[in-house]
């Protein structure tokens, strides 16, 4: 990433996150707004209550994030199962058509035997007086036996295939129903957590809401400062791969768009919806949920990460963001927020994964 681009990212981080430094560890963050005078500020008790509210809101939104991952996982499974049911239905239709044709052939053979007086071909041979007719007939009988045996075998196999397709389809329908229930349960969890959080926020006065926003920024700034103080940024100097650049370009182009749980764009996103679509735009399909991204993608040491890599947050892998360089991430934070740039260390990092694990950096 060029010097000019790093400067732009650092500036964006400063504006969005109220960070005074992202490239120099050991420096504290400035408050996003001037500190109020003692007479205008909240009382210690009020401040303590707002901090408790902040922690409760964080807990509620994180629970909603976990439920969103459950919902997205159930939806992804349902899509795959639906596709499998469609394929099975096509096989059943083809099998039924094949079985019909085979039965028609078997019926024609039976009709031919009936027209011969109901006697099998062997009987006609025995009754033949002409040796040449006998020899010719013997060959036809052998061919007829083989054809009949093959026809019966094909009929049996086709019927068995149809029975298996039907069993498989029934099993997939059961899985679909279970998935539907899982999605519905996850949706109820999400809506419950978000409703509780919104109710809690709505009960605050305007001044309290503004102070709460300050507390959220202060908590993020404190975490980012501690992360930078570790000196980690001095070790992170990886350059993006060509696909990584495309993924970063897509993700940063979504800045300002609202968070919506279960959304994959183009107007709204949740956290893993943003990262999965960004990488899809770069030509690399990755798992839909943050938990599956953590499970399935290659793990990278934090000091080795490069722009385009995904940072997984919290012990339950319930949040994901994309690293864009200079100690910054782009992510879809939570309901009520928009896609934004933040400090990479502003939340507890579980680890880093790389979608294009085999691609060389430019």
Full strand arrangement of the beta sheet holding 319-325: 298-300, 349-354, 310-313, 319-325, 328-331, 340-343
Strand partners, 264: 269
Of the candidates 188, 322, 182, the one whose C-alpha atom is nearest the C-alpha of residue 247 is: 322
DSSP per residue, 58-123: HHHHHHHHHHHHHHHHHHHHHHHHHHHHHHHHHHHHHHHHHHHHHHHHHHHHHHHHHHTTT--HHH
Q: Give strand ranges (E) for the chain.
A: 298-300, 310-313, 319-325, 328-331, 340-343, 349-354
Of the candidates 307, 258, 255, the one whose C-alpha atom is nearest the C-alpha of residue 279 is: 307
- Pairwise CA distance, residues 165 & 85, whole Å: 10
Tokens of 317: 């892998």
- Pairwise CA distance, residues 350 & 331, whole Å: 16
| Catalytic residue flag (residue 319) | yes
Burial class (CB in 10 A: 0-12, 13-18, 19+), 43: exposed
Q: Give the β-pairing of 340-343 and 328-331.
A: antiparallel
- Pairwise CA distance, residues 69 & 294, whole Å: 12
| Catalytic residue flag (residue 17) | no
- Pairwise CA distance, residues 236 & 246, whole Å: 20
Of the residues 17, 124, 145, 271, only one is catalytic, namely 271
Of the residues 124, 145, 299, 331, only one is catalytic, namely 331
| Catalytic residue flag (residue 331) | yes
Dihedral over Cα of 62, 317, 321, 350: its sign: positive
Catalytic annotation, residues: 271, 319, 331
């Amino acid at each position: 990433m060029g010097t000019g681009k790093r400067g732009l990212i650092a500036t964006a981080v400063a504006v969005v996150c109220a960070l005074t430094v992202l490239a120099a560890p050991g420096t504290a963050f400035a408050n996003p707004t001037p500190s109020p005078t003692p007479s205008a500020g909240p009382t210690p008790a009020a401040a303590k209550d707002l901090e408790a509210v902040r922690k409760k809101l964080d807990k509620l939104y994180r629970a909603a994030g976990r439920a969103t991952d459950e919902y997205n996982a159930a939806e992804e499974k349902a899509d795959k199962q639906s596709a499998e049911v469609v394929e099975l239905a096509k096989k059943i239709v083809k099998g039924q058509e094949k079985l019909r044709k085979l039965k028609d052939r078997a019926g024609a053979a039976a009709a031919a035997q009936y027209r011969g007086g109901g006697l099998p071909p062997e009987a006609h041979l025995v009754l033949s007086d002409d040796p040449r007719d006998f020899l010719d007939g013997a060959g036809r009988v052998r061919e007829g036996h083989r054809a009949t045996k093959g026809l019966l075998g094909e009929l049996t196999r086709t019927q068995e295939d149809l029975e298996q397709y039907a069993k498989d389809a029934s099993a997939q329908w059961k899985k679909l129903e279970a998935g539907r229930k899982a999605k519905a349960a996850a949706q109820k969890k999400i809506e419950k957590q978000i409703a509780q959080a919104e109710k809690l926020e709505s009960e605050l006065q305007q001044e309290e809401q503004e102070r709460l926003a300050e507390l959220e920024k202060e908590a993020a700034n404190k975490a980012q400062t501690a992360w930078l103080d570790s000196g980690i940024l001095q070790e992170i100097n990886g350059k993006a791969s060509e696909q990584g650049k495309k993924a970063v370009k897509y993700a940063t182009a979504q800045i300002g768009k609202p968070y919506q749980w279960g959304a994959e764009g183009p107007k709204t996103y949740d956290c893993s919806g943003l990262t999965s679509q960004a990488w899809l735009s770069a030509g690399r399909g990755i798992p839909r949920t943050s938990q599956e991204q953590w499970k399935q993608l290659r793990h990278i040491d934090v000091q080795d990460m490069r722009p385009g890599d995904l940072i997984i947050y919290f012990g339950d892998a319930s949040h994901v963001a994309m690293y864009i360089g200079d100690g910054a991430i782009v992510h879809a934070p939570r309901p009520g927020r928009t896609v934004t740039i933040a400090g990479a260390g502003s939340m507890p990092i579980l680890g880093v994964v790389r979608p294009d694990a085999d691609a060389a950096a430019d």
